[in-house]
Structure 1
């Protein structure tokens, strides 16, 4: 699986997308903070964190017995680059739609 497909696959899960959003909004967080309020067990969150790490979207740092997690800009940049590369497709498609709608109004 390519890195881009791994990223999209990892983010397709609502819990994992929420974890990445939390890390982007709040910066580095311990796993315990990600468990609180999620309604999930620590082992379930741990499995989601593993998928995100393997996809290159987050990184883990050990401080004593604690594990701290943060969003990995390089991994998220891959998605941003792909999205930007498709902008011409969307701009062209939206322009064609606008033209067709304007012709219907005439």
Structure 2
């Protein structure tokens, strides 16, 4: 009976050691870190998509003619708004590109 208990204790210790080594390997594996990188990228894309959506909505509101505007005023404001919109979209795209470069 004494040898069965000893063998049981030894097998339990071996199992605990294997579990500890397995945990250490999983923590050190690059796949584990890729998940964190993926989550970071997902959050960044989600934020960028939100900013793009807000800019598109703002642009759409600004492009509509206001009831007190003359035709020529409306066309001038549309031109300024188009230039502003293009600049903002380039900035958002540039920030996304900068993020990709710095995190690769």
State TM-score, norm by structure 1: 0.30
Give the helix-richer structure, 1 or 2. 2
Larger C-alpha radius of gyration, 1 or 2? 2
State TM-score, norm by structure 2: 0.31
